[in-house]
Structure 1
Amino acid sequence: MTHGPYEHAPEPHHAYPPTPGAQSPGGFEQGAQWPAPQPAPGSSNWQYGPAPESGYGQQPGGQWMPAPTPGLFPLRPLAFGDALAATFRLFRTSPKTTLGSAVIVMGATTLFASLLPVVVGMLMFTRIPFGGSQEDITPMLVSSITLTSLAAIFGLAIAGVGSALLQGILVRVVARGAIGEKLGFKEAWRAGWRGVWRLIGYALIVGVGSLLLIAVGWLLIPFILFMVLSGSGADEATMAGSIGLGVIFTLLLGGATVVLMVWVGIKIMFAPSAIVLEGLGPIAAIRRSWGLSHGNFWRVLGIVVVIQVILNFATGAVSTVAQLAVSMGQVLLTPLGSGQSAEPQAGTIVAFAVILLLTSALQVLLGAIVLVLTSGNATILYFDLRMRKEGLGVTLQRYAEQSAAGAEITDADFDVQREQHLPPMTAPGYAR
């Protein structure tokens, strides 16, 4: 019999496993699986509730979730080929929403912007011969020119609104495609209207800035030429050299203006995506784009240049074939030396109208393709930079998994994708 503080000491562990079926002093069957020790509250492995069941396709708690649908691009920093492939994959994933919307918007706005000043001009200028005296004709001429110019400006404004709407649609389509979803035609148009006025404000800022930059360049060119010529003597040789020097300065100034516009264009090309997806204003979106492009200028420029070269080559080839077809059609309709009368026949007029309509439709289609690819590529690069700098791929992967499980991902989720830096959480039981 043992006395003292070790009276109730546990039995020592045996070197050999116990016999199956035997009972241990604690009441557990010997040879059975003992319950796994639980970590102490506050440790890194401590959790509420039962231990999760492991298995393929299961989440904590035993809930099965399907694998997310592959998206428009990998949810990681994109390689050069990934960015190019994702740009041209837009037509395969959402052709109706992207190309269809672009053709409708560009066709309608181009037709409206072209016909409105023509109709207003015809209505106004045809009244001038019937104005009466010379004193009445002058005010009518001034008013006709003014109204026709206002009609042209209004048509350009409608075209700008359509361009902003189309840009919002394309950004939403790319955002949905990133998590494996396809945005329908109606849903895309409803989503595109949100933020359209901020996009219009951004377009106005960019347009006014470009005009000011070009105006400054055009004002400096004659100023430089004047200064050079005024400083030259009366000698013809000296004047010729001064003119040559002025031309060189002009070319350098023009080249510097082009380089500056390209540099600024690359720095602010992600502003529309920030306006649509982050809900920023035009100025804040420009600052946001400037920060995202910092340190990635040459990479973004290389991708944009490759896309533009491909598009220019493809559209140039199609346009050349179309022009050849139009020329052959004109030769067939009006053959040389046919001896026909100078007045065209009704069939010839209709044929020329059909050729003009087909040519215009082809130009609208090519413009729509170029706009879809350039805007889509800018949005894809916007996601690429955010995945590189902010780890957005983790958020997009979570959205993709939730969408595959049947959860609804609203547009508001994409509006607040900027990661918030939260303070570190204190482990349970150790809060102060």
Structure 2
Amino acid sequence: MNDSPGWAVPGPSPSDGERPGAPDGRDGGEGAQPQPPAGGPKWSAEQPPPGEWSSPGAPQAPQPPQPPQVPQVPQPGAGTGWGGYGGPQGGQYGHPGGTGQWGKPPAAKPGVIPLRPLDLGEILDGAVATMRSHWRSVLPITLVVATVVQVISVLVQKYTLSDLPVASDPETSLRDVVDALGNTMLVLVANGFIQLIGTIVATAMLTMIFSRAVLGHGSTIGEAWREARPRLPRLLGLTLLLALGGVAVVLVLILPGIALGSIGVGLLGGFAAVPLVIWLGIKFSLASPSLMLEKSGVVTALRRSSKLVQGSWWRIFGITALTGLITAFVSAIIIWPLTALGLVVGLSDAGPNALENGTAATGWAALVLSAIGAIIAQTITMPIQSGVTVLLYVDQRIRREALDLELARAAGLENYGSDPAAPPTGG
């Protein structure tokens, strides 16, 4: 398969000099030889009728009658030339010899994406289209997970963070602050682990839903859970391994600064760790769908991701970063107004000193409104992020391993890929 962006046009495109009816590529333009007299050699039967491909002002020689031409039936989706309209699909652009929009051949689309290498717009559109067409399965999963996680987070912030001693309190000793911070860290780690479990469960189930949506198949919540449940322990191990690996990289690079007692060396190591962690994160970003859909082990999934990303690191990084920016912007415009409203309500209830003593941020109004905003934001953005990852995995396998042929067979399309001129038929 072609590993570069786009989709190769099947077969060579005929040039102007190779069109049926053009003798030796000469069109009667400047430098063309004069036509032979009537008594000279016979014209080839391939010559065009009078009035086509003739020199300006050249005398027209009598020509024998032409054999009847068999009209050519345009293929579905064929273009009408550069910038031409009026094809069978109406308004599609193509080049001479090409089929489909901008020279791409017509690809089967049994589900949310066409079965060919995808561009950025098609990947994002596929993720959103799955949310829209399979919302009965997608949204309940993310809504339940986000609600459970945020309820636990609200309880932790209310009954743990509110117990932290305020530094401005003169009666607070250093030992009290250290003990309170230690207990808070333990609670926050436990809360983070619960959030991690919820995210893994949602990611696993969404991966199954998106994989079936590529084939045009629906999936219920029960079906997604039954397919994802056996893979959850390995997915948890993969996620923890990647997290621990990132932490280990950072520690290794800042340890020299700590050992030497040099802040500059430590900062230099920290700055060097950031691009390295990003590089490793993108390199292994396709390990999760590989583990879930290929039913492989953790190490095998890491190898598969490294192989699929090789040569396309910058492309995958750009799509992943853009998706992160879009989801962050959507989350911000949902969460920030509700959080600000919660702080205003907290100030009105607790008085003007609420910001100084920290009670405004840990009041019920601020916590609940902020949690509602986070639930709405995660319900919307979590499927987009999971969908883009799954579709990137599918796209890379189409480019590298001709996965589109297997997907077409799985979708029940007969004769797909055997004859580029023949459209696939439903099986």
TM-score category of the 2 structures, normalised to the smaller one: 0.5 to 0.7
- Within 5 Å, which residues of 2 pair with 1:98-109? 98-109=138-149
Partner residue, 2:53:
none
Q: Is the 8 A contact 2:150 2:371 kept in 1?
A: no
Pick the aligned partner of 2:252 from 187, 196, 216: 216
SS class of match (1:181): coil
Partner residue, 1:319:
335
Q: Deviations over 1:333-357 (max 9, x none)?
A: 57879xxxxxxxxxxx9xx635532
Shift of the 191–114 alpha-carbon distance from structure 1 to 2, 3 Å rule, reads farther
Pick the aligned partner of 1:301 from 301, 317, 335: 317
Residue 92 of structure 1 aligns with an amino acid whose one-letter code is: R
Partner residue, 1:189:
225
Partner residue, 2:238:
202
Shift of the 366–377 alpha-carbon distance from structure 1 to 2, 3 Å rule, reads same
The answer to whether structure 1 residue 80 and structure 2 residue 120 are counterparts is yes
Q: Deviations over 1:2-43 (max 9, x none)?
A: xxxxxxxxxxxxxxxxxxxxxxxxxxxxxxxxxxxxxxxxxx
Q: Deviations over 1:85-135 (max 9, x none)?
A: 11222321222322320121232244346647987999xxxxxxxxxxxxx
SS class of match (1:269): coil
The answer to whether structure 1 residue 170 and structure 2 residue 199 are counterparts is no
Q: Provide the rounded CA distance (Å) in 2 between the counterparts of 1:290 and 1:354.
A: 46
Q: Is the 8 A contact 1:114 1:155 kept in 2?
A: no
Q: Provide the rounded CA distance (Å) in 2 between the counterparts of 1:314 and 1:145.
A: 33
Residue 259 of structure 1 aligns with an amino acid whose one-letter code is: P
Partner residue, 1:396:
407
The answer to whether structure 1 residue 378 and structure 2 residue 389 are counterparts is yes
Structure 1 residue 69: Cα displacement? 7.2
Residue 367 of structure 2 aligns with an amino acid whose one-letter code is: L
Partner residue, 2:418:
none
- Within 5 Å, which residues of 2 pair with 1:313-392? 313-330=329-346, 353-354=364-365, 356-392=367-403
TM-score normalised by L of structure 2? 0.59
Structure 1 residue 75: Cα displacement? 1.0
Partner residue, 1:258:
274
In structure 2, list runs of 5 or more residues that go unmatched.
Answer: 1-107, 163-177, 354-359, 415-427
Q: Is the 8 A contact 2:339 2:366 kept in 1?
A: no
Shift of the 214–181 alpha-carbon distance from structure 1 to 2, 3 Å rule, reads same
Q: Provide the rounded CA distance (Å) in 1 between the counterparts of 2:255 and 2:214.
A: 46
Q: Is the 8 A contact 2:335 2:370 kept in 1?
A: no
Q: In percent, how many aligned pairs have the same letter?
A: 25
Q: Is the 8 A contact 1:117 1:151 kept in 2?
A: no
Structure 1 residue 74: Cα displacement? 1.0
Structure 1 residue 164: Cα displacement? 2.0
Partner residue, 2:305:
289
Shift of the 145–305 alpha-carbon distance from structure 1 to 2, 3 Å rule, reads closer
Q: Provide the rounded CA distance (Å) in 1 between the counterparts of 2:199 and 2:345.
A: 33
Q: Provide the rounded CA distance (Å) in 1 between the counterparts of 2:395 and 2:286.
A: 11
Residue 90 of structure 1 aligns with an amino acid whose one-letter code is: T
Q: Deviations over 1:262-282 (max 9, x none)?
A: 111111011111111111111
Structure number with bigger Rg? 1
Q: Is the 8 A contact 1:179 1:396 kept in 2?
A: yes
Q: Provide the rounded CA distance (Å) in 1 between the counterparts of 2:336 and 2:364.
A: 20
Structure 1 residue 397: Cα displacement? 1.1
TM-score normalised by L of structure 1? 0.58
Shift of the 114–215 alpha-carbon distance from structure 1 to 2, 3 Å rule, reads farther
Structure 1 residue 189: Cα displacement? 2.0
Structure scoring higher RCO (CA < 8 A, sep ≥ 6) equals: 1
Partner residue, 2:42:
none
Q: Is the 8 A contact 1:84 1:303 kept in 2?
A: no
Q: Is the 8 A contact 2:345 2:365 kept in 1?
A: no
Q: Is the 8 A contact 1:73 1:86 kept in 2?
A: yes
Q: Provide the rounded CA distance (Å) in 2 between the counterparts of 1:250 and 1:276.
A: 38
Q: Provide the rounded CA distance (Å) in 2 between the counterparts of 1:317 and 1:145.
A: 32
Shift of the 158–286 alpha-carbon distance from structure 1 to 2, 3 Å rule, reads same
The answer to whether structure 1 residue 93 and structure 2 residue 133 are counterparts is yes
Q: Provide the rounded CA distance (Å) in 2 between the counterparts of 1:305 and 1:69.
A: 27
Partner residue, 1:275:
291
Q: Deviations over 1:165-187 (max 9, x none)?
A: 21110110110000001111221
